[in-house]
Structure 1
């Protein structure tokens, strides 16, 4: 299931593939991805795209004090899976 992200929209995408991971709103079109223990494993960002909305998986890199983009995906579930396996 893919949720359309319009400019300024902040509706939390519904994850269908992994019930042990959930999203918490951090800003408009930006969500923290938490694992089953409540640990932040990354961020999910809604990104407008000419072919429809995309979801960007982002992870904080402590040594550089910056976020790193792991990729853009057509579904929130795919972006979250990328965060789960890129640990």
Structure 2
């Protein structure tokens, strides 16, 4: 699998920081980590999964799969 580095639209109020291959931390304008975006291969192209850590269960919860990194980041921003 080739390495994918998603680019967010210039107006995005969050940024991505590499966390692992095909995984990025989503950091809001205040510097807080609000979740992760994971690139996943799909037979139709690359999907971006929005994930958020759930402290009570000590596990990540998948919020959805999207065709763009921007949409995955928006999911994390708006679901807080």
Same fold (TM over 0.5): yes
Higher strand share: 2
Kindly report which structure 2 residues correspond to 1:67-82, keeping only aligned pairs within 5 A, or say none. Answer: 67-82=60-75
1:29 and 2:17 matched: no
Q: Could you say which structure has the greater relative contact order, defined with CA pairs below 8 angstroms and 6 or more residues apart?
A: 1
- Indicate if the aligned counterparts of 1:8 and 1:29 stay in contact, CA closer than 8 A: no
Ranges in structure 1 where 5+ consecutive residues have no aligned partner? 1-6
State how many pairs are aligned: 80
The TM-score with structure 2 as length reference comes to 0.94
The TM-score with structure 1 as length reference comes to 0.86
Q: Output the CA distance in 2 between the equivalents of 1:56 and 1:34.
A: 16
1:19 aligned partner? 12
